[in-house]
Amino acid sequence: MDKKQKIAIVVMPLVAIALLAGGMFLKQQTASTPSTYVDGTYEGVGQGFNGDIKVAVTIASGKISNIELLEINDTAGLGDNAANEIIAAAIAGNTAEVDMVSGATKSSEGTIAAIQAALAQAGGGASYTDGTFEGVAPGFGGDIKVSVVVEGGKITTIDVLESSETEGLGDKASEQIIASIIETQSLNVDMVSGATKSSEGTIAAVKNALGQDDASAEPEEETSVELVEIDLSALENGVYTAAEEGFGGDIELSVEVQDGKIVEIKVLNQSETEGLGDAAIDTIIAQVKDTQDVNADIVTGATYSSEATIKAIVKALESTPAPAETAETPSEEEKEVEKETEKQAEKEKETAAPAEATPAPTEQAPAASGLKDGTYKASTNDSFYGDPINVTITVSGGKISDVKVSENETPEIGGEAAKKIAEAIKSKQSADVDSISGATITSDAIKKAAKDALSQAK
């Protein structure tokens, strides 16, 4: 055996090993390389924070050359800026697989979804390495472990091998996320409302399986708000109240839940910076009501106010609710009737002659009832809608001879209650009468005004 043969025997196995290793490396590196797109301009639509986000994606020489933002209704200076950042990243990377913009998740998701929809028409999408891969990531209740099957460069099956997520909530969220990933062939899918942590964990586990963990990504800003999962469908109907310290003081909120949904969030008290902290409160409340998820995005520049608002909502929903007074909630038809009534009342005020001044009660000895003859008026703003309720009581012969109530309540509910309360006061000769069922707030307001009026007659 000559020297050249000996060298060949030694070198050839090394070359084979190098080629094998290089092939494996190449295979791993091309696991998510975007495929070539067909030249042209394609439009796509995604759901943003306040409505549709529409884009036009232009493909030139098989790559994304331009993305035009055609339509967006999200918050000016926040949602639209996020959309433009997403677009710039997509063009630079020639892919819709880009990072979300912190503080504008919904706008980011909508923009990405719109770009994905456009690229789907262009024949785009990610091409993955065939095989079966396992991945794991932390969820809400513990690690979520998945098995991902790729065939023909496409994700065909994702099985959950291990999960400790909340039954009926977190586990269902994982199922929805998996279905979305397979359908869109993308890992940028919408979170499941009310199960953010389970959603994020499922997506992260699939990314881990496909070798798409982004170790170089900058960590998001740390906040003191932990992600929570609240099953709204398990909550009792009612109004939940709580307060949490913000930047300028306590932020007190009431959260009304009806039939498993948050229908209203009211600010009862707050002292946050005008135009910044108070605006952040409104933004957080709008997000929570829109998504039905308490894990809202922190508003940039108003972290304390944002965190306190989220914590107050969570604390409220973990408390014992007070029953919501829904009986007096007017329907759309009742609201229209009320508007017409108010317009008519305004016209009557403009054309009516000036009302005579209320005569001062005459100085005389009280009758047997203890009331002095005369006409007495009183009003209160403690009505259902916060409008004034005026009560006029006429005393004749020491007795209540007439009771008039002027109010702007719903005719079928509050208006009817006003009539019954007036009749009851006249009949009983006292303001201590029973409230009308279904119109407690209106009843109590009328009785309060009546008592104030009668106090003038003593």
Q: What angle do CA 36, 41, 43 make, to 5 degrees?
A: 105
Is 305 inside any structural domain?
yes
CA distances from 234 to 199, 330, 420 (A): 20, 26, 38
Please, which pLDDT band fits residue 42 given cuts at 50, 70 and 90? confident
pLDDT at residue 216 tops 60? no
Same domain for 239 and 270?
yes
Same domain for 199 and 251?
no
Is 309 inside any structural domain?
yes
Residue with the larger pLDDT of the pair 293 and 338: 293
Q: Take residue 22 and report the two structure tokens written for it.
A: 């290089």
Residue 29 has what pLDDT? Answer: 34
The chain-wide mean pLDDT, for the chain, equals 79
CA distances from 213 to 32, 187, 230 (A): 12, 11, 28
317, 350, 380 — which closes off a domain?
317
Same domain for 197 and 150?
yes
Is 11 inside any structural domain?
no
pLDDT at residue 35 tops 80? no
Q: Which CATH number characterizes residue 73's domain?
A: 3.90.1010
Residue 277 has what pLDDT? Answer: 86
Q: Which domain holds residue 99?
A: 40-121
Residue with the larger pLDDT of the pair 80 and 384: 80
Total structural domains within the chain: 4
Q: Take residue 3 and report the two structure tokens written for it.
A: 């020297």
Residue-wise pLDDT tens digits, 157-197: 999 999 988 888 888 889 999 998 888 777 878 788 667 88
Q: How many CB atoms lie within 10 A of CB 393?
A: 28
Q: Which CATH number characterizes residue 147's domain?
A: 3.90.1010.20
Same domain for 377 and 427?
yes
Is 135 inside any structural domain?
yes
Same domain for 97 and 175?
no
Is the CB of residue 281 less than 8 Å from the CB of residue 270? yes
Same domain for 96 and 141?
no
Residue 353 has what pLDDT? Answer: 46
Residue with the larger pLDDT of the pair 445 and 2: 445
**What is the C-alpha to C-alpha distance for residues 433 and 168, in angstroms, rounded to an integer?**
49
Is the CB of residue 241 less than 8 Å from the CB of residue 327? no
Model pTM above 0.85: no
> Which of these, 342, 345, 355, 395, lies nearest to 372 by C-alpha position?
395
Mean pLDDT of 316-322: 90
Give percent of the chain with pLDDT exceeding 70.
Answer: 75
Task: Say which range, 11-20, 205-214, 278-287, 375-384, has the weakest mean pLDDT.
Answer: 11-20
Give percent of the chain with pLDDT exceeding 90.
Answer: 27
Same domain for 371 and 439?
yes
Q: What are phi and psi for residue 163, nearest 5 degrees?
A: -160, 140
**What is the C-alpha to C-alpha distance for residues 111 and 99, in angstroms, rounded to an integer?**
11
Please, which pLDDT band fits residue 84 given cuts at 50, 70 and 90? very high
Same domain for 451 and 397?
yes
**What is the C-alpha to C-alpha distance for residues 164 and 150, in angstroms, rounded to an integer?**
25
158: Cβ contacts below 8 Å, ≥ 6 apart: 146, 147, 148, 149, 178, 181, 182, 206
Residue-wise pLDDT tens digits, 326-368: 444 555 556 666 666 666 666 565 555 444 444 444 434 343 3
Is 431 inside any structural domain?
yes
Same domain for 304 and 261?
yes
Residue with the larger pLDDT of the pair 236 and 27: 236
Q: Take residue 418 and report the two structure tokens written for it.
A: 């006003």
Residue with the larger pLDDT of the pair 247 and 250: 250
Same domain for 203 and 249?
no
380: Cβ contacts below 8 Å, ≥ 6 apart: 388, 389, 445, 448, 449, 452
Is 225 inside any structural domain?
no
**What is the C-alpha to C-alpha distance for residues 210 and 147, in angstroms, rounded to an integer?**
10
Residue 142 has what pLDDT? Answer: 87
121, 143, 165 — which closes off a domain?
121
Please, which pLDDT band fits residue 76 given cuts at 50, 70 and 90? confident
Residue 229 has what pLDDT? Answer: 79
Q: What share of the chain is helix, strand, coil (3-state, %, to 5)?
A: 40, 25, 40
Same domain for 196 and 260?
no
Task: Say which range, 233-237, 253-257, 272-276, 306-310, has the weakest mean pLDDT.
Answer: 272-276
- Reading phi first (left if > 0) and then psi (alpha if -120 to 50, else beta), residue 403 is in beta
Is 113 inside any structural domain?
yes
Residue 298 has what pLDDT? Answer: 84
**What is the C-alpha to C-alpha distance for residues 188 and 177, in angstroms, rounded to an integer?**
10
84, 99, 121 — which closes off a domain?
121
Please, which pLDDT band fits residue 269 given cuts at 50, 70 and 90? very high
Mean pLDDT of 36-62: 87
Residue-wise pLDDT tens digits, 117-141: 888 777 655 567 788 999 999 988 8
Residue 147 has what pLDDT? Answer: 96
Residue 33 has what pLDDT? Answer: 38
Is 9 inside any structural domain?
no
Residue 213 has what pLDDT? Answer: 66
